[in-house]
Structure 1
Amino acid sequence: MKAKQIHTNTFIDQKEVVIVELKNDKGSFVKLFNYGTIINQFVVTNAHGEQQDIVLGFDKFEDYINPAYLANYPYFGAIIGRYANRIKNGQFELDSIEYQLATNNGKDCLHGGEIGFDKKVWDIVNIGEEPHASVTFQYFSLDGEENFPGDLAIQLTFELTNNDELILTYQADTDEATPINLTHHSYFNLSPKGESIINHIHQMNAANYLEQDSNFVVTGKLIPVVDTIHDFTKPKAIGANWDSESGYDQTYVLDKEYGALTLASKTTETSSGLSLLIYTTEPVAHLYTAKYLSVKNGKNGKDYGEFDAFCVETQHHPNALNIPHFPSTILQPEEVYTQTTIYKVLIH
């Protein structure tokens, strides 16, 4: 197991952007930036003995802050916070106080506002090699940042095991009640040539999905997946019976005990022989098949377009701040927020 830092000599807000590389004994490795805790590479060995990178991104850090990329920003590989997904009208009420957030997605707030945790340089508080190659990042979100209340301290630890598991462990605390809903936004493609993900075989352990309005904000209504295109309770090709114009951009309520670490989804690709299993303590997972992806000059000069990747964003119920019957996403000062999500890669 190895863990090392690589300096970029690039500074943002007077903090250096650093690459952290985690490597296991099998030769698999992950490269992370402390900027947005971006997963830049996740390289494993496929069924043909070839090393294969399974996440989308760029070869150079500078491309992650390029204005052309940010103009149609897909949040490649970054943490999402203080609040993932959409908040209706960017508004919520907490302790009889009305809060207005940025409306950066139509009339709604998306992924924490204009400058979320994905655009911050995180501190590196620990790098280790036992029992697994690991790194812990930390960020302090001050009261009023993006108009959220309370000082929030967040730590995110990545561990790469010899079983090709990338374990993400989140922890946070606050000095006053505040909303929190964190996720990570990696774009996966298991094809050796990065072909469309329509033939990836996907399974999601969810009997219900959440109704959304025209801007993809959840309304609070659960809809059974049975007899719909959203039924992934048994494995099927992502493109088997979908709306080929839109793909999937949908939140699924996982069949599980609240807070338990269980299997959320399994995605398999035939030509690579790879499967990606995602385990999480979170109650929902958002499946996005990159309908709106349009990025020039990605890794090895490849242009990325619609359906070139899939995301499984583990999180709490979106817009729960405005839907009382959803599990609470308010963190109190006496509480500690925790979440574990595991990306496990297997040869099937």
Structure 2
Amino acid sequence: MPDERPVNVEAADREKVMVLTRLSIFAAVLLAPAAADAATAERSRFGTMPDGTVIEAVTLTGENGVSARIIALGATLQSLNAPDREGRVADVTLGYDDLESYVGKPNYWGQTIGRYANRIAGGRFVLDGRTYQLQQNDGTNSLHGGADGFDKRVWRITNVASGPRASVTLALTSPDGDQGYPGTLQATVTYTLDDAGSLAIDYAATSDRPTIVNLTNHALFNMAGEGSPTSTLSQRLTIPAARYLPVDEKLIPTGELRPVAGTVFDFQQGRLLGDGLRDGRDPQIVVGHGWDHNWVLDKGTTAQPELAARLEDPASGRVLEVLTTEPGLQFYSGNFLDGSLVGKQGHVYRMTDGLAFEPQKFPDTPNQPAFGSARVEPGRPYRHSMIYRVSVAPAEAAR
């Protein structure tokens, strides 16, 4: 006998719709474009310190061929690979291939610099009426935080993430009195790579006592590729700054904010590196052995990173843009690379083989109140956001 129980057609239809919806969602997930998770972060072993500490590396890779490798020693940008207009990828940063060289032949090649980047005159400053004496590792000056600055410390890797943007966060505790600086400082740096070729570097620091902080990255770039026989003299640099800081014979700013107009320090409209680097008629080129000065960025201090420099290699088309929230940019033309150090792939590095663009507060700010303040105190953390953005200029744009 047939089943004559009433059938709830409306409920049956709802059940079918729910099943189809679930299948659609599942299919959408499976077929979603991979670009949403294209940027990857991969941990690996880079080497072992003399005391047995294992140094890890994290490689961030975007879908456009750009990749960055960060190592825990010095929270260092060990490599930045970028394609040219033909798609050929090259490492555009100077450095070493192995940990032993970073330990045994230290240099400022991609490291995180702190507590205070650049020079402090006499290695001393006054804070709240008390004089603090720092290590004097640059003649009578303190340079880049001292002989045992943040660039030589093993940082802790606290977070690694893949996704639309790949990132790694590293942390360091600097105790009270470290290199002469007051206060226990908790510092972090986060490297984040997106699929458009932007490597963001975000610094943060807190202190339990008033102190001074000025963090930056000291990568040296050659957009033709590190070790290129053409060096950087044929590359074009733009710096949006109408003034710079002249220095004395010890490379300490004199306090003057000098106009760049009519000098070899004028990069406002862009100029080739070979135009002016050897111009000994400018006493500032002589005292710095080239460019090793701080430019006063027109934008000043900003809430979000804005353009501080643009470097283009017309032959390959590779372009580097440097953006920052800080008011100054130290541009260093690799003046002290003298061929005595052998870097990646056995390359000997010479003057102009690499260029440093170090966004920061002005050098010697703690001793020159007109430059602003580098003070950090409890409840008022330090922050600095900067970006290394690589891209390719089309052939018709090459100059």
Contact 1:12 1:121 survives alignment (8 Å): no
Matches within 5 A, 1:55-204: 55-66=93-104, 69-70=105-106, 74-192=107-225, 193-204=228-239
* 1:254 paired to 2:281: no
What is the CA–CA distance in structure 1 between the aligned matches of 2:77 and 2:290, rounded to whole Å? 24
Moved over 6 A (4+): none
Q: After superposition, give the CA deviation of every residue in 1:72-126 in whole Å (9 maximum; x if it has no partner).
A: xx31110110001000000111111111111111111100011000000000110
Contact 2:47 2:99 in 1 (8 A): no
Conserved 8 A contact 2:69-2:80: yes
Q: Are positions 1:22 and 2:84 aligned together?
A: no
- Structure with higher Rg: it is 2
Matching residue of 2:350: 305
Structure 1 residue 314 and structure 2 residue 359: aligned?
yes
Partner of 1:280: 324
Structure-2 residue corresponding to 1:347: 392
Distance 1:13 1:256, change over 3 A: farther
SS, match of residue 233 in structure 2? helix
Task: Give the structure 1 partner of residue 256 of structure 2.
Answer: 221
Q: 1:9 to 1:308 in 2, by over 3 A?
A: closer
* Displacement of 1:211: 1.8
| One-letter code aligned to 2:212 | P
Deviations 1:191-219 (A, max 9, x none): 14352211110000100001211011112
**2:346 and 2:103 mapped to 1: Cα distance?**
17
* Matches of 1:282 and 1:8, distance apart in 2: 32
Residue pair 1:247, 1:307 contacting (<8 A) in 2 also: no
TM-score, L = length of structure 1: 0.95
**CA 1:302–1:20: 2 relative to 1, 3 Å:** same
1:230-241 to 2 correspondences below 5 Å: 230-241=265-276
What is the aligned counterpart of 1:39 among 68, 77, 83? 77
Given the superposition, is the C-alpha separation of residues 9 and 211 from structure 1 closer, same or farther in structure 2, using an over 3 Å criterion?
closer
How far apart are the structure 2 equivalents of 1:15 and 1:123? 12
Residue among 306, 322, 326 paired with 2:371: 326
% identical equivalent positions:
35
CA contact (8 A) 2:46 2:71 kept: no
The TM-score with structure 2 as length reference comes to 0.83
Taking the aligned partners of 2:183 and 2:229, their CA distance within structure 1 comes to: 42
| Matches for 1:260-275 after TM superposition, within 5 Å | 260=303, 261-275=305-319
- SS of corresponding position for 1:118: helix
The code of the aligned residue for 1:344 comes to R
CA distance in 2, matches of 1:102, 1:247: 26
8 A Cα contact 2:46 2:98, kept in partner? no
Could you tell me how far 1:14 is from its partner in structure 2? 6.0
Deviation at 1:13, TM superposition (A): 5.8
Which of 83, 91, 112 aligns to 1:53? It is 91
Q: Is the deviation greater in 211-220 or in 192-201?
A: 192-201
Residue 131 of structure 1 deviates from its aligned partner by 3.0
C-alpha RMSD of the superposition: 1.4
Unpaired runs of 5+ residues, structure 1, are none
Q: Which amino acid aligns with 2:73?
A: Y
Q: Provide the aligned length of Structure 1 versus Structure 2.
A: 343
Query: What's the CA shift for 1:12?
Result: 5.8
Aligned partners of 2:73 and 2:151 also within 8 Å: yes
| C-alpha distance in 2 between matches for 1:9 and 1:198 | 34
For the Cα contact (< 8 Å) 1:200–1:237, is it kept in 2?
Answer: yes
Give me the whole-angstrom Cα distance separating, in 2, the residues matched to 1:257 and 1:11: 41
Distance 1:78 1:58 in 2: 12
Structure 2: 5+ residue stretches without partners: 1-38, 281-288, 394-399
Instruction: From the two aligned structures, give the one with the greater strand fraction.
Output: 1
Q: Distance in 2 between matches of 1:137 and 1:114?
A: 21
- Aligned-pair CA distance for 1:244: 5.0
Aligned to 1:207: 242
Aligned mates of 1:112, 1:327 — CA distance in 2? 19
